Amino acid sequence: MTLNRYFIHAGLALLTSLFSCDQKKQSDTPETDTLKAPKWINKVGVEQNEFKEEVFYVNDYDAIADGSALTTTAIQKAIDAAAATGGGTVSFKPGNYLSGSIFIKENVHFTIPEGVELLGSEDIADYTEIDTRIAGVEMPWPAALINVLDQKNVTIDGDGLVDGQGKVFWDYYWNLRKEYEPKGLRWIVDYDAKRPRTLLIQNSENIILEDLNIQRAGFWTVQVLYSNHVTVDGLTIRNNIGGHGPSTDGIDIDSSKYILVQNCNIDCNDDNFCLKAGRDWDGLRVNRSTEYVVIRDCVALAGSGLFTIGSETSGSIRHVYVSNIKGLGTKNGLNIKSATNRGGTVEDVYMQNIQMDSVRTFMEVSMNWNPSYSYSKLPEGYDYDSIPQRWKTMLMEVDPPEKGIPTFKDITLYNIDVKGAQRAINVNGMEQSLVENITLKDVHIQAAEAGQITHSTNWNIENVSLDINNGSTLKIENSPGVTFSDSLYVTYPKSN
């Protein structure tokens, strides 16, 4: 067992001990708990990649191993040399290596061994600008620290450390936001504050990320974009070291298919495990869905969402199976969010064997999320012809407007145990789009307050209990077919 996987399993064991209900891993779950698992889950991810035996050490290409100077060129030379001979392993001798953007090639096994630290440059100029998609919008943007672009059969692994050294980019973002918000430009801050992702897989297939230790991402940590058959296994992500980095998502699956995420442990400052599919006019133009995603046997600590869908939903997100994930101190458990200019359908989502402790809200659903960020409007005093193209893209209107209304339906939550939540449920659909066909089965929630459900329909409630500290009941409005009877509200004996 690698050191990284040891800590993953240790973290799982620790969290399990904090819950009164002991949950087993997916492989040990009784058959009755997995009867509804869809057949397609066996098609996700990558079984194994095979590589030529030759090893290419970056040190043989004059890499600097003490972190004193940029060594991007040497690392890239080793990668290119391996690819030129049909593949092999690219590795490092012990030391610290400072780098800007590097690009892994087909049939290359890129490994970061124990005793090695790959340090991201703190200068954005060291990240090559590429055509990509950021927060749901296609635009030129700095490449990540580690990139797999238009490639096949790549594995990236190792027990060393990938340190994005992101604080300089966090500070830049916060300073720009302080400048932009008073001007009515909150909607464009994230797109103007160019910050590097740590690892990007884009337009690629048969890719494995395994047993990596990643910390201090400048922006998103891992983005899987326009790709298929990708396995993300055994990652430890720590983005709250030295501060709380804004928008430092853990793992973002973005308009991609047949993706497996498992055995990961994430502590970040935004969404921990997140599915995305494009934003607003540009996302509807691209119209690429996220489908066939399995997330299992994972742990989330700090973060905005244990499991999040959105807010970029334009291309639609469907066929999702989440099992045996645990959240401790995460803001929201299930978090589905979109906006009225975003569109897309979220459907066929199945979550089972989920444990949460000390979350803010067990189930948070919004079709009008974060208006100051979600809706773009050019303030007076700006010349449209002089603004950057990315601003113009963000300002494009969805036509007809009805195309921007999202749809959430066919979501099942089974065998869920929630303790110490601030609020049980906060679900808000719209008159034009009701949150439809939600099943809660064997769901037990202990929370300070009950919360609310609006503009929803046809919920199936089976063996659900709500232990609400302040004695409140769910406020249910404009929701035909959604009923929580008084018998569901229970009070358990309080422990001393």
Where exactly are the structural domains of the chain? 3-359+368-404
Query: Does the structure show a pLDDT above 80 at 493?
Result: no
Nearest one of 451, 461, 413 to 306, comparing CA atoms: 413
Question: Which pair of structure tokens corresponds to residue 488?
Answer: 């569901």
Nearest one of 218, 241, 141 to 172, comparing CA atoms: 218
Question: Which pair of structure tokens corresponds to residue 271?
Answer: 């969404």
Task: Please state whether 113 falls in left (phi above 0), alpha (psi between -120 and 50) or beta.
Answer: beta
> 3-state DSSP helix/strand/coil percent for the chain, to nearest 5?
20, 45, 35
Of all helices (H) and strands (E), which one includes residue 49? none
DSSP structure string for 290-342: EEEEEEEEEEE-SSSEEEEE-S--TT-EEEEEEEEEEEES-SEEEEEE--TTT
The pTM of this model reads: 0.93
Q: What average pLDDT score do residues 238-261 get? A: 95
For the domain made up of 3-359+368-404, the CATH class stated in words is: mainly beta
Contact 248/221 with Cβ under 8 angstroms? Answer: yes
| Interval 460-477: pLDDT, tens | 999 999 999 999 999 999
| Residue whose structure tokens are 């063996």 | 463
Query: Does the structure show a pLDDT above 80 at 31?
Result: no
Task: Say what the pLDDT of residue 14 is.
Answer: 45
SS3 category, 353: strand
Contact 228/198 with Cβ under 8 angstroms? Answer: no
* pLDDT band, very low/low/confident/very high, at 51 (cuts 50, 70, 90): very high
Task: Say what the pLDDT of residue 25 is.
Answer: 34
